[in-house]
Chain A
């Protein structure tokens, strides 16, 4: 029951993107198409899981004062693994995501979960938390990618859904469109949740 709770909170109630506003850089940068958003989400989820497990297991070994550099080194190792695997098996996606794969290292979501959850709880809770946050992050990225792809190219996952009558809004896939789309989507979510406004927490 409790394991399920730790998993489920990442999906909506404490969603890393919509509620906690963590990991904004990859969120805005790579969500110009649904495929990119999905790939980035999965890569981040993998690092979240790997880093969460190792940091949780090492919590009694790592001295408190140097814990942040230690966590970062563990995370950077998993990012390197994800980077090399993607380069080997999905070279096209790897090329599109480019710089943002290594930048998973400094995604504050991952360090934040290691610091505030994985190292405070037993490893099986850490796994379920990491999976929940990973899935939450992935769906948020894919969702934003789908919206921007529909408006920017008239397609979803590369499949044309809007006919010739549709003039693509190029702005949606440009950097400016990322900010605008995210702002509008957040505002809509605020209306849906009626009232509770969120504020940037990550530095």
Chain B
């Protein structure tokens, strides 16, 4: 039950994109078509889940054990970029089609602030290993959900008659604002 709450909190009520403002760049940049948005979401979910696990170990067994809190940012970003690199190599070895599908998106994930944000939230929340993993997975699912919804709307918008000054980024931001309002309806459902 507790784990379900962590999952729902990370994916819906405190959606990383729409409520926490993490990962706005890919949200605006890679959300033109549903398939690419879904691939990006999938890759991000994978990296989020795995780096949540790794970050928990780094925090518990290295930073806390040796009293190095000031190295947190440097350590986390190194772990994440190393992990993204590793993931890329592993995916390439394991599944060629998956690598082709995710390929170009993987390197971009390093600078996705949703990943570093997730890493920094884990010690703040004091989650256990299992909870951290679920939190990472939930965050990824919520990210994918927002990406796909956004891409779906933008696909339709391509045929709409948008006033010229609003074309491109302004319209995307206004749609995102409306989605954020819709997601506000979930707030309060789970006390986080």
A and B are partners in one complex rather than unrelated chains: yes
Residues of A within 8 A of B (CB): 21, 24-26, 28-29, 68-69, 72-73, 76-77, 79-80, 83-84, 99, 102-103, 105-108, 111, 171, 174-180, 182-184, 186-188, 190-191, 195, 197-203
A25 touches B23 (CB 8 A): yes
In the assembled complex, the Cα of A190 lies from the Cα of B172 at a distance in Å of 14
Residues of B within 8 A of A (CB): 18-26, 28-30, 70, 72-74, 77-78, 81, 108, 110-113, 115-117, 120-121, 124, 164-174, 176-178, 180-181, 184
In the assembled complex, the Cα of A24 lies from the Cα of B171 at a distance in Å of 15
A residues less than 8 Å from B70 (CB atoms): 80, 84
B residues less than 8 Å from A84 (CB atoms): 70
In the assembled complex, the Cα of A105 lies from the Cα of B72 at a distance in Å of 12
A99 touches B120 (CB 8 A): yes
B residues less than 8 Å from A102 (CB atoms): 72-73, 116, 120
B interface: dominant SS: helix
A25 touches B173 (CB 8 A): no
Contact partner, A106, options B21, B30, B116, B124, Cβ 8 Å = B116
A25 touches B25 (CB 8 A): yes
B residues less than 8 Å from A24 (CB atoms): 24-25, 28
Q: How far is the CB of A53 from chain B (nearest CB, A)?
A: 18
B117 touches A179 (CB 8 A): no
Q: How far is the CB of A105 from chain B (nearest CB, A)?
A: 5
B residues less than 8 Å from A176 (CB atoms): 177-178, 180-181, 184
B residues less than 8 Å from A68 (CB atoms): 81, 110
Q: A76-B73, A179-B177, A183-B174 are in contact. Are A197 and B167 (CB under 8 A)?
A: yes
- Of the A-B pairs whose beta carbons lie under 8 Å apart in the complex, a sample of 24, sorted by A's number, is A24-B28, A69-B78, A76-B73, A80-B70, A84-B70, A99-B117, A102-B120, A103-B116, A106-B110, A106-B116, A171-B181, A174-B180, A175-B180, A179-B174, A180-B173, A183-B177, A184-B174, A187-B170, A190-B165, A190-B170, A198-B168, A200-B28, A200-B168, A202-B25
Contact partner, A108, options B21, B25, B121, B181, Cβ 8 Å = B25
Q: In the complex, which residue of chain A has the Cβ closest to the Cβ of B25?
A: A202
A72 touches B177 (CB 8 A): no
| Nearest 4 interchain pairs by C-beta | A179-B177, A183-B173, A29-B21, A180-B177
A residues less than 8 Å from B170 (CB atoms): 183-184, 186-187, 190
In the assembled complex, the Cα of A177 lies from the Cα of B117 at a distance in Å of 21
A105 touches B77 (CB 8 A): yes
Contact partner, A201, options B26, B29, B172, Cβ 8 Å = B29
Contacts A106-B112, A106-B113 supplied; 4 other A-B pairs, CB < 8 Å? A80-B73, A102-B116, A180-B173, A190-B165
Q: How far is the CB of B138 from chain A (nearest CB, A)?
A: 17
In the assembled complex, the Cα of A111 lies from the Cα of B115 at a distance in Å of 16
In the assembled complex, the Cα of A188 lies from the Cα of B170 at a distance in Å of 9
Q: How far is the CB of B69 from chain A (nearest CB, A)?
A: 10
B residues less than 8 Å from A182 (CB atoms): 173
Q: How far is the CB of A156 from chain B (nearest CB, A)?
A: 23
A residues less than 8 Å from B120 (CB atoms): 99, 102-103
A203 touches B113 (CB 8 A): no
Q: A72-B77, A200-B169 are in contact. Are A179 and B176 (CB under 8 A)?
A: yes
A residues less than 8 Å from B18 (CB atoms): 175
A186 touches B74 (CB 8 A): no
A175 touches B116 (CB 8 A): no
Q: How far is the CB of B147 from chain A (nearest CB, A)?
A: 13
In the assembled complex, the Cα of A68 lies from the Cα of B73 at a distance in Å of 16
A residues less than 8 Å from B169 (CB atoms): 21, 183, 186, 197-200
Q: How far is the CB of B151 from chain A (nearest CB, A)?
A: 13
Q: How far is the CB of A40 from chain B (nearest CB, A)?
A: 12
